[in-house]
Amino acid sequence: MKTQLPRSITRISITSIAMSTMALAVSAAWASGQETTREDVQQVVVTAQKRAQTAVDVPQSMSVVGGDVLEKQQTTGFADYLKLVPSLNIVQSTPGEGRLVLRGLDTGGVASTVAVYLDETPFGSSSGLANGATLAGDFDTFDLARIEVLRGPQGALYGASSLGGLVKFVTNAPELSEFSLRARVGAATVDGGGTGWRSNLVVNTPVSDTLALRISGSYLRQPGFIDSIGTEGSDRASNINEARNYGGRASLLYKPSADFNLRLSTLAQNISTDGPTSVESDSNTLKTLYGRPSFSQFVPSRRDIHYRVSNGTANWNLGAITLTSSTSYATQKQYAREDVSYNLSSVVQNVFGVPNDMFLGQELELEKFTQELRLSSNSGGAVDWLTGLYYTNEDAELTQRYHPVAQGTLTPIGSLPLLADLRLGSTYRELAVFGNATLHLGQDYDLDVGGRYSRNEQDARQLTDGILAGGIADSNADSSEGVFTYAVALKRKLGPRSAVYARAAKGFRPGGPNVLPPSAPVGTPATYASDSVMSYEAGLKTQSADGSLSVDLSAYHIKWKDIQLLAVVNGFGVNTNGTGATADGLEITAGYRPLRGLRLSANGAWNKARLDGNTPLVVGGVKGDRLPFSPKYTASLMADYRWAIGDTTPAFAGASLRRVSGQHGAFDADYRSTNGRQREIPSYNVVDAHAGVEVGAWTVEVFGKNLGNGDGKISTSARTANGNFIAPGGAVNTGVIIPRTIGFTITREY
């Protein structure tokens, strides 16, 4: 019997829109209720291009979401702030397991198209052998300085797996000036589900004039709202998708002089979930079945994800240049128990005559070491430049095993033979040299040029055993490649707060080996190649002199070549390369302050991402099909108002409306063959609101999310490799947004 590599056990998507990055420059003044004057306007400083720049000086499309906005919006993960970032989507059916998508660049492969950084640390796997696409790194947002999102390929400065762009979490650094402490508690209830609660604490303390420490911790219990209602003999249980997210960060800053600083940071975060945030939906309309969010559970599911990230970054001003060294070590561990009873237990019973339930157990351990050295010029000359060396080494161990258990229990059935046991070990090593220079051509023009050459080498070994895996097999594979990527941008300044730009950039995603058993037929690919995108973009960034109006506008054209796909070739699950795709789109973010204390913002994105040719038949994509989870448009409107109750009590309130248009679900060969099209996901709306008062050092807030109880679908399942449905009654499992949630928080500052 032939071996089929198990597919990654998560899939996902959803789209939102953003607050203008330049509007954030005056958010502090708006938040205080003060009238903003020309002198109050400050430019937003970002580090997305690995040096401090104002947002208007970055010649590409980007968004910045400040920590104050994240807190007011009661964010707990990606799904909460998608509305603040144009063209950023997530395909998700379980908290902590999400596929990030920027500008529609997604076909469901197993390697990520979006790079994720925590400060200076690249997070997650760069290869296609460690579930990197679905384990994006959903970091807790408490005590963040900001989130920076660069749209479009970032191959020059960030290298591998940044085809669609980059999401960078920037944490608050320790402060040498004063001691501070902030504590927050809160609770929330979900419509049709339970009640959850959260707590947060951050302490900043100077140790001496040159040394400071900052420590933060958080705990979040998300209530469940999905029931198993006994469909076709499944369990009867309520709120099966409860989740917990907890951990902390610590950072130590040593700054003996203005010319040198060293920051040591570490993070530990655990995300534990029970059942998936998926419901059973009609295969054609995707309407939720049975009149309530339900999921047929035969074996209780479970997911545990552990993040551990440590980094040391030193900056040394040597006069004309600055030397930066960043050393990182990160681990990511995943344990998953996925219920596969519905489509596999009957097969085992028919063959062996033993009634059973069954789950797929998966464990992943990833270790990643990264060292980066950079030299950069100090501003003031006709040329600003940066050059660097980058090295990373990651080791991953992925195990998957089918476990038959006695019905209604987790007790193993010892009388059955081993069904399938897979162990896949892999190593990814990459060495790169990169550089970037900005030439100031007079007062108004800047030319930005960057390039990167990288070489990666990969090794993998697969051990398989079990009757469904064709017996014992031991296979090895390796691959290597060198890639050059680049970016060129021309910017014209229209004033101190306005600029237009044009940019061309190339990005890539590494290829790698396919580990196949010796019995694999001739023609089964032993390796898969890297895929690449070429992006062309033009944009405008402008802000009025008094800061009352800001607009960011961008348009892009992207060609995607040799798309990586997860497919079945000659009966074996492999990574392979398919056809190309084209993505065209527009993005806009705008902010307006018509009167004191009132801030309005409108955001939108239009995208047309489609295949240029047919995928392999088993994948099911046909030329002209829209790429999965790339809505034609998304739009949001937001309003925030701040005023004073009496003379001493500040108050605030805000609301947002987000609309996500119809989109296509994951490629599904069976559905397309039957219906002549891909499965269509209906459009949906989300309304959020919040309000609060500040009484001395206390802040009390109330909030509501998804107040209209929208039934938005953000992932879809397909049939199994042999064409069987994975849910009773021909239903498909669909990831959903959380129903109406009402809650409060209380914050105390010391």
Residue pLDDT, tens place only, 33-84 = 333 333 344 567 888 778 888 888 889 999 999 999 999 889 888 888 888 8
In tens, the pLDDT along 641-661 reads 999 998 889 999 999 999 999
In a domain, 628, yes or no: yes
Give the whole-angstrom CA distance, residue 170 versus residue 121: 10
| pLDDT at 335 exceeding the cut of 90 | yes
Sequence-ordered list of residues with C-beta below 8 angstroms from that of 631, at least 6 positions apart, any chain: 15, 89, 607, 660, 661, 662, 663, 683
Q: What is the CB neighbour count within 10 angstroms for residue 56? A: 25
Q: What is the pLDDT of residue 408?
A: 92
Q: What is the pLDDT of residue 571?
A: 57
In a domain, 7, yes or no: no
In a domain, 158, yes or no: yes
Q: Range with the lowest mean pLDDT among 82-91, 679-688, 723-732?
A: 723-732
| pLDDT at 366 exceeding the cut of 80 | yes
**Which residue range(s) make up the domain with 549?**
23-749
The encoded tokens of residue 42 equal: 């400050």
Q: What is the mean pLDDT of residues 588-613?
A: 94
Q: What is the pLDDT of residue 348?
A: 92
The encoded tokens of residue 672 equal: 């397309």
Q: What is the mean pLDDT of residues 218-223?
A: 96
In a domain, 2, yes or no: no
In tens, the pLDDT along 507-531 reads 999 988 888 766 677 777 788 889 9
Give the whole-angstrom CA distance, residue 24 versus residue 156: 27
Percent of the chain with pLDDT over 70: 92
Q: What CATH number is given to the structural domain containing 192?
A: 2.40.170.20
In a domain, 573, yes or no: yes
Q: What is the pLDDT of residue 470?
A: 75
Model confidence at 187, pLDDT cuts 50, 70, 90, reads: very high
Q: What is the pLDDT of residue 14?
A: 26
Q: What is the pLDDT of residue 570?
A: 57
In a domain, 329, yes or no: yes
| pLDDT at 499 exceeding the cut of 60 | yes
Model confidence at 719, pLDDT cuts 50, 70, 90, reads: low
In a domain, 5, yes or no: no
Q: What is the pLDDT of residue 518?
A: 66
pTM, rounded to two decimals: 0.91
For residues 570 and 213, the model is more confident at: 213
Give the total number of structural domains in the chain. 1
Residue ranges of E strands in 596-705: 598-611, 633-645, 649-660, 663-664, 680-681, 684-695, 698-705
Burial 466-486 (b: 16+ CB within 10 A, else e): bebbbeebebebbbebebebb
Q: What is the mean pLDDT of residues 464-472?
A: 83
Q: What is the mean pLDDT of residues 187-196?
A: 96
In a domain, 736, yes or no: yes
